[in-house]
């Protein structure tokens, strides 16, 4: 088995909350050494984002909650107060030996500490410096803070998400999870990896990578946004309806719901047969997918009546045998007990100081020759301060002095 793809890469991670930490976690999974810088006492802001928290063996309150746990495995936690001159010196000294530095402070905030790109580049010309922000390093909104839900609204995602107009509860709707944070984390990882490749191929030059939530959510709207760019019209909210093939959506059965996507004309013919209504496939209104899009409300209403005749399991089995994509509407308990999910190993166990078999979600990338097999628990606050700072000459006596001054 080969070494992990990023073994030998060292990353200094000053990001907090979700988008930046998710990116750093991805790189840590792939073998990079990730040194996470946290505030003494409080740590990453995510640690205070509420319950549930792991239970401390001694019954004490702690800051190891689900929000923090989901984005910080395989890292080392080092506490440094970067608002102090000594703390800034520590970060700069660490940056000298790092390949990547990541931060998600407001634009310009780190310049006063001499921890901005130009300052770090002066001491490490090969550094790949990634800034993750709400609105990017340039433009009139650059100084603003930005959270996922704000960017879902401003970027257009909420305008095309939610129930169809005219239905109960219609109107803009936020996507449940912090999906823009997640996508921004992926873009940050891609940008960092591309910059590392460029550095290797072009004489060791580093660069500044600017990734923001606003750009990411707009780019993620893909064909929806392209519709507007082609004809100037914003697509309507479609609820659970599909985005291409029709009919597609959630259909109620006698004991629950299923999701169906009829992706082409052949699948439509087979679906009509499964539903006991083969004549629909020769109806002039529904012959081709474009026809079914035009007459979407009609075909969806007809299918809705047909699906109400049998339970979910009956339809799923029949549709699978017919080669028509469909699936149940699973909650998380059903997801993690699904035999395919279990076969793919999407739930992994790690040894955490508070819980010896803590469940985490595995990295979603599978390699043939360099598989990600090691998962280390998200660290307790400051767990690796002594180990990491020893590499830049800080002995026990000096660390104790800095702790007393609340610098580390």
* pLDDT, averaged across the chain: 96
String of DSSP letters for 46-95:
GGGS-S-BPPPTT----S-BHHHHTT-TTEEEEE--TTSHHHHHHHHHHH
Please report the beta strands in 92-218, taking only residues with DSSP state E, as ranges in sequence order. 100-103, 128-133, 207-212
Site of tokens 């959270």: 147
Q: Tell me the per-residue pLDDT of 72-97, one tens digit each, with 9 for 90 and over.
A: 999 999 999 999 999 999 999 999 99
Provide Rg for the chain, Cα atoms.
25
| Superfamily grouping for domain 248-328 | formyl-coa transferase, domain 3 (3.30.1540.10)
Q: Tell me the per-residue pLDDT of 343-362, one tens digit each, with 9 for 90 and over.
A: 999 999 999 999 999 999 99
pLDDT at 133 over 80: yes
Q: What is the pLDDT at residue 289?
A: 96
Answer yes or no: are the C-beta atoms of 127 and 96 closer than 8 Å: no
Whole-number Å distance between alpha carbons of 80 and 78: 6
Q: Tell me the per-residue pLDDT of 16-49, one tens digit each, with 9 for 90 and over.
A: 999 999 999 999 999 999 999 999 999 999 999 9
Structure tokens at 367: 């390699």
Answer yes or no: are the C-beta atoms of 50 and 138 closer than 8 Å: no
Half-sphere exposure of 224 (CA within 13 A, CB side): 19
Q: What is the pLDDT at residue 1?
A: 54
Whole-number Å distance between alpha carbons of 133 and 42: 21
C-alpha distances in angstroms, 351 versus 74, 278, 288, 355, 359?
A: 12, 56, 55, 7, 9
Structure tokens at 96: 């000298």
Answer yes or no: are the C-beta atoms of 136 and 212 closer than 8 Å: yes
In three-state secondary structure terms, 257 is: strand
DSSP alpha helices (H): ranges in 210-311?
A: 213-220, 222-231, 265-274, 289-294, 296-307
pTM above the 0.85 mark?
yes
Q: Which class in CATH covers the domain with range 10-219+371-404?
A: alpha beta
Residue ranges, comma separated, of all CATH 3.40.50.10540 domains in the chain are 10-219+371-404
The active-site residue out of 44, 148, 181, 210 is: 181
Q: What is the pLDDT at residue 118?
A: 98
Answer yes or no: are the C-beta atoms of 77 and 387 closer than 8 Å: no
Give mean pLDDT, residues 390-407: 96
**Where does the pLDDT of residue 2 fall: very low under 50, low under 70, confident under 90, or very high at 90 and above?**
confident
- Does residue 181 carry a catalytic annotation? yes
Structure tokens at 326: 């469909």
Whole-number Å distance between alpha carbons of 157 and 360: 28
Structure tokens at 121: 């580049």
Give mean pLDDT, residues 277-287: 97
Neighbouring CB atoms inside 10 A of 1's CB total: 8
H or E element in which residue 119 lies: helix 117-123
**Where does the pLDDT of residue 243 fall: very low under 50, low under 70, confident under 90, or very high at 90 and above?**
confident
Answer yes or no: are the C-beta atoms of 213 and 180 closer than 8 Å: yes
Helix, strand, coil % (nearest 5) of the chain?
40, 15, 45
Whole-number Å distance between alpha carbons of 129 and 191: 10
Half-sphere exposure of 183 (CA within 13 A, CB side): 20
H or E element in which residue 234 lies: none
**Where does the pLDDT of residue 244 fall: very low under 50, low under 70, confident under 90, or very high at 90 and above?**
confident
Q: Which of the 8 DSSP states describes residue 316?
A: H
Residue ranges, comma separated, of all CATH 3.30.1540.10 domains in the chain are 248-328
Structure tokens at 176: 């449940």
Q: What are phi and psi of 56, to 5 degrees?
A: -70, 135
Between CA 192 and CA 347, with CA 179 as vertex, the angle to 5 degrees is 85
Give mean pLDDT, residues 206-235: 96
Q: Which residues pair with 10 in a beta bridge?
A: 33
Answer yes or no: are the C-beta atoms of 180 and 151 closer than 8 Å: yes
Whole-number Å distance between alpha carbons of 59 and 79: 24
Whole-number Å distance between alpha carbons of 141 and 271: 49
Please choose, from the candidates 78, 73, 64, 109, the residue with its C-alpha nearest in 3D space to the C-alpha of residue 12.
78
The residue count of the chain comes to 408
């Amino acid at each position: 088995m080969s070494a992990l793809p990023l073994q030998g890469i060292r990353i200094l991670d000053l990001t907090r909350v979700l988008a930046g930490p998710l990116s750093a976690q991805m790189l840590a999974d792939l073998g990079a050494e990730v040194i996470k810088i946290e505030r003494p006492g409080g740590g990453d802001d995510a640690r205070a984002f509420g319950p549930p928290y792991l239970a401390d063996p001694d019954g004490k309150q702690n800051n190891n909650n689900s929000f923090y746990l989901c984005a910080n495995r395989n890292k080392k936690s080092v506490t440094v107060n970067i608002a102090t001159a000594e703390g800034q010196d520590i970060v700069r000294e660490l940056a000298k030996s790092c390949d990547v530095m990541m931060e998600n402070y407001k634009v310009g905030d780190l310049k006063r500490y001499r921890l901005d790109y130009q300052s770090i580049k002066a001491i490490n010309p090969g550094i790949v410096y990634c800034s993750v922000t709400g609105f990017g390093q340039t433009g009139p909104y650059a100084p603003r803070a930005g959270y996922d839900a704000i960017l879902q609204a401003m970027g257009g995602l909420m305008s095309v998400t939610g129930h169809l107009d005219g239905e109960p509860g219609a109107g803009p709707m936020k996507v449940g999870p912090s999906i823009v944070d997640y996508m921004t984390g992926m873009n940050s990882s891609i940008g960092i990896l591309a910059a590392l490749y460029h550095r290797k191929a072009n004489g060791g030059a580093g660069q500044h990578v600017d990734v923001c939530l606003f750009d990411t959510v707009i780019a993620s709207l893909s064909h929806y946004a392209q519709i507007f760019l082609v004809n100037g019209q914003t697509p309507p909210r479609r609820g659970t309806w599909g985005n291409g093939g029709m009919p597609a959506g959630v259909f109620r059965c006698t004991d629950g719901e299923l999701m169906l996507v009829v992706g082409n004309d052949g699948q439509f013919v087979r679906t009509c047969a499964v539903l006991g209504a083969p004549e629909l496939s020769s109806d002039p209104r529904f012959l081709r997918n474009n026809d079914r899009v035009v007459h979407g409300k009609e075909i969806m209403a007809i299918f809705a009546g047909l699906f109400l005749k049998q339970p979910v399991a009956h339809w799923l089995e029949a549709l699978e045998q017919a080669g028509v994509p469909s699936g149940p509407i699973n909650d998380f308990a059903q997801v993690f007990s699904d035999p395919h999910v279990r076969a793919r190993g999407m739930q992994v166990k790690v040894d955490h100081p508070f819980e010896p078999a803590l469940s985490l979600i595995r990295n979603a990338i599978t390699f043939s020759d360099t598989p990600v097999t090691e998962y280390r628990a998200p660290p307790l606050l400051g767990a690796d301060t002594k180990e990491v700072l020893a590499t830049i000459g800080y002995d026990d006596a000096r660390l104790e002095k800095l702790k007393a001054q609340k610098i580390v």
